[in-house]
Every structure is written in C-alpha cells, then in structure tokens.
C-alpha cells in the first residue's frame, strides 16, 4: 500500500512538472497570439430614468470606437470598452471607483448627466485618471480647477444664454417688441436644470426682458399640473424650459389638458432632443424649439462628417439616431482617440499634455464647432471653449436646425399653433 502511495505521489509530481513546463511554453504562445487591446472605461446611466439618453450617448462613443478600430485602433491595438452603469450619483461614485481601482482604467468616458459627471469626475481626479465628458453640461463640472477632466460639449450656462438671445431675436416673428415680450422659465431642479434656468434668468435681466415667472420642480414628479397652472396665470409669450424625457412628455401632455399656450416654446436639451418626445406627443411637438447640441438635420457644410455619422449609426443599430446626443459623443470620442494617439501611451499625464495642445478649427468636426481646452489655471479648466449650442425646431416630428444661419437646414416657423 505504501509503495502504491509513493508511486502516486511521484506520478503527481512528474505530471505537475510536465504541465508546468507545457503551460509555461504554451501560455507564452497563447499570450502572443491574443491581440493586445486598449481598455477604456465608459460610465453612463444604462438603467433608471436617464437610461434612454445614457444609452444614446454610449452609442455615439461606440460608433467612434468601431470607426477607430477599423482604422487600426490606437498604436496598432484595438480599443475595448469596459462598461459601468450609473443610474444616480451614488452609483457613479462607486462605479468610477470600480473602473479605476478594480479594472485598472486610466481613461473614462462619460456620462451624459451633469450630476453623474460631477460625482464620477471627482473620483477620477483624486486617482489621477482622465475623465472625458461628452454629454454633461452643467458649468460646475469644469469650475473646480481639475487637471484630468476634459469636456468636449458646451456648458449649461451657454444653453440658457442662447435660449434668451434667440427669444429676443424672434420677437418680430411672434408680433411683439423685445422690451414688451413676456418670458417664463421652467426647469427641473437638478444641477442640469438649475444651471440652465439660472443663467437664462440672468441673461433675461441683462437683456432687459420681462421675466414674468420662474418655476423649478423635481424631474421625478408624476404631476406637473400645479406648475402649468402657475405658468398659465403668468400668461407668457415665450416659455424657456429645461427637462429630462419623462417630465418633458408629462409637461406637454398636461399643457394640452390644461390649455396652456405660448407663442414660442424653447426647450434646452435633454428631453426636447429625443425622438421619444415626438413619438409620445405626436404633432403637438411641431414648432417647439430646442437649444441644444447640433442635431442630425444640420447643414452638412457646417458640420463635416454628419451624414457619414448618420449612416454609420443606422448600419450599427438598425435605426436612425434618437438625438444629437449620440452625435456629440461620437465627435468627442474621436477627439479623444487623436489625443491618445499623440500621447503615445495610457499615461494620464501624457494624455493630459496632448489634450491641452488640441486646437481644432470650427467647421472641421461632425458637430460644426471646433475644440480647444481651457488650461488648468482658467476658471473653466478643461472646458472646450470653442463649443456652443445651436437652435433646432421640431417640424413634421423631426428636429431641424434653424439658427444660426450658417448651421441652418430649414426656416423658422412661428408662432406655435394653438391646441386643436
């Protein structure tokens, strides 16, 4: 019995040695045959109330990844995404930490929502990791003097300011003098809505316009009737509104029920940019404006590559883009690939240095505006100072860019039609 046990032990040792030798040589061969990849974290709300636009932003980044990989990727390596779902700010912090400290990410692309971006980018900054924002617009994101945060899209303040400037420009179209035009502002009360709303208010005051009402509410509400009745009592000529998709749909359904009418309604991104909005309210969407990222129906001479993007989107996902959010995420990710290529490695310091050297002229991207990041000593460190929003209008349930003139793909139609 003892001999048998000795033989078994000896056999096991020989087998282990043989396997070890084999796996040593074979393992090396397997590693050599497996293609190298560049892993990048992507943090968006893939679940919860913001999932629709979170997914749309991700799709834009995904198309940019596929395009770059067909061109050879980065440094001859294919780009691979490591996804993180952040339905709220608490999850954004936890997922950013996971991507960095468990998955080893040195670069994270995010995140559509301003509150998510604000929370997750703090984790990235603390760990010396690049956070590349392609959707969140609230000004405080880039007002903290961060070194590793870069944002390719316009700020929320510019949305509010642009909305008021446009309202003043269309005064003759709705039959009022600018100084006599009554404006109301309504916004959801997160960082996004508050930033846009407060800047719209400040700009209206600078322009000497008559602000007759300003109302904030929670985007999680299931009843906006009291908000609408308050606005109706103020009887504005123009409404400037900021909301996500579910509250945008709710607002306009209840506006019809309560017969709240304005001569011009100007949304400011998010829900007002979604095809889901048009599908939910039908023809009631027509003639509503949206101050936002460049939309899909923008003059292609102004936004080079926009038609190619739309084609790639349909080929990839089997349907047209749902909003311009995917377009700006696509354009922002393409800039990141060029920055990383120039950096030559995943080293955040090298990427940061390359990003600060970016200077893309207007008219050379699929969104029209160029790109140049504010330096670390600026009040808006990491912000693309060449980015600005455009104005589109819903026509036949499609968003068509109408202002400024060089970006326009259609004419302004006013006033809004009363409820039928």
In CATH, the architecture of 37-154+302-388 is 3-Layer(aba) Sandwich (3.40)
**Top-confidence residue, 295 or 230:** 230
Q: Is there a contact between 289 and 264 (Cβ–Cβ < 8 Å)?
A: yes
Q: Output the pLDDT for position 34.
A: 56
What span, in angstroms and rounded, lies between the C-alpha atoms of 279 and 29? Answer: 54
Q: Where are the domains of the chain?
A: 37-154+302-388, 157-292+391-407
The pLDDT confidence band at residue 16, using thresholds 50, 70 and 90, is very low
Work out the average pLDDT over 190-212: 94
Q: Which residue has the higher pLDDT, 159 or 32?
A: 159
pLDDT tens, position by position, 301-332: 999 999 999 999 999 999 999 888 999 999 99
pLDDT digits (tens, 9 = 90+) for 242-300: 999 999 999 999 999 999 999 999 999 889 988 899 999 999 999 999 999 898 999 99
Report the pLDDT averaged over residues 193-213: 95
Decide if pLDDT at 24 tops 70: no
Give the whole-angstrom CA distance, residue 51 versus residue 244.
11
56 within 8 A of 321, measured Cβ to Cβ: yes
What ranges make up the beta strands (E) of 162-228?
182-188, 210-217
- Which whole number is the average pLDDT over 349-378? 96
pLDDT over 70 at 13, yes or no = no
Q: Is 85 helix (H, G, I), strand (E, B) or coil?
A: strand
Q: Which residues pair with 216 in a beta bridge?
A: 187
pLDDT at 269: 85
pLDDT value for 420: 67
The number of angstroms, rounded, from the C-alpha of 315 to the middle of its chain's C-alpha atoms is 21
Give, for 267, the enclosing helix (H) or strand (E). Answer: strand 264-267
Angle at 39 between CA 36 and CA 44, to 5 degrees: 155
The CA distance from 417 to 420, in Å, is 8
Q: Residues for the chain: how many in total?
A: 420
Choose between 419 and 383: higher pLDDT: 383
CATH of 157-292+391-407 among 3.40.50.2300, 3.30.70.270, 1.10.3720.10, 3.30.420.10: 3.40.50.2300
pLDDT above 60: residue 172: yes
Per-residue model confidence (pLDDT) at position 49: 84
160 pLDDT higher than 90: yes
Using the predicted structure, report yes or no on whether residue 380 has a pLDDT greater than 70.
Answer: yes
pLDDT of residue 30: 39
Among the residue ranges 27-41, 201-215, 318-332, the one predicted with the least confidence is 27-41
Mean pLDDT in residue range 61-79: 98
Q: Residue 4: pLDDT band by 50, 70, 90 thresholds?
A: very low
What is the chain's mean pLDDT, rounded?
91
In this chain, the answer to whether the domains covering 37-154+302-388 and 157-292+391-407 adopt an identical fold is: yes
Does the pLDDT at position 59 exceed 70?
yes
Query: What confidence score (pLDDT) does residue 274 get?
Result: 86
């Amino acid at each position: 019995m003892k001999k048998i046990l000795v033989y078994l032990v000896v056999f096991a040792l020989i087998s282990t040695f043989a396997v070890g030798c084999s796996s040593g040589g074979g393992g090396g061969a397997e590693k050599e045959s497996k293609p190298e990849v560049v892993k990048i974290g992507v943090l968006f709300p893939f679940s919860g109330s913001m999932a629709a636009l979170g997914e749309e932003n991700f799709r834009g980044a995904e198309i940019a990844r596929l395009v770059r990989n067909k061109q050879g990727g980065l440094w001859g390596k294919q780009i691979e995404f490591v996804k993180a779902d952040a339905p709220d700010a608490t999850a954004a912090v936890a997922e950013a930490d996971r991507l960095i400290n468990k998955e080893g990410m040195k670069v994270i692309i995010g995140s559509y929502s301003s509150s998510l971006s604000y929370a997750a980018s703090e984790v990235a900054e603390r760990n010396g990791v690049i956070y590349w924002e392609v959707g969140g617009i609230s000004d405080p994101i880039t007002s903290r003097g961060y070194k590793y945060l870069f944002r390719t899209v316009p700020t929320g303040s510019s949305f509010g300011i642009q909305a008021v400037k446009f309202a003043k420009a269309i005064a003759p179209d709705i039959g009022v003098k600018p100084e006599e035009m009554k404006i109301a502002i309504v916004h959801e009360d997160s960082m996004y809505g508050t930033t846009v709303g407060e800047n719209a208010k400040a700009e209206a005051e600078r322009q000497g316009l008559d602000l007759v009402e300003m109302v904030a509410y929670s985007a999680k509400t299931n009843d906006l009737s009291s908000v609408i009745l308050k606005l109706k009592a103020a009887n504005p000529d123009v409404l400037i509104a900021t909301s996500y998709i579910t509250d945008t749909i709710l607002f306009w359904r209840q506006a019809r029920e309560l017969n709240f009418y304005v001569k011009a309604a100007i949304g400011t991104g998010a829900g007002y940019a979604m095809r889901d909005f048009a599908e939910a309210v039908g023809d009631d969407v027509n003639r509503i404006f949206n101050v936002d990222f460049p939309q899909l129906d923008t003059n292609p001479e102004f936004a080079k590559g926009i038609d190619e993007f739309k084609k790639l989107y349909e080929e990839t996902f089997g349907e047209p883009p749902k909003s311009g959010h995917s377009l700006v995420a696509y354009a922002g990710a393409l800039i990141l690939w060029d920055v990383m290529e120039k950096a030559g490695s995943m080293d955040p310091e090298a990427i940061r240095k390359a990003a600060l050297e970016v200077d893309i002229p207007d008219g050379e991207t699929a969104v029209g505006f160029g790109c140049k990041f504010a330096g670390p000593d600026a009040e808006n460190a990491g912000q693309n100072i060449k980015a600005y929003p455009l104005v589109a209008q819903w026509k036949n349930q499609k968003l068509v860019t109408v202002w400024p003139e060089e970006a326009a793909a259609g004419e302004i139609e006013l006033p809004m039609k009363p409820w039928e």
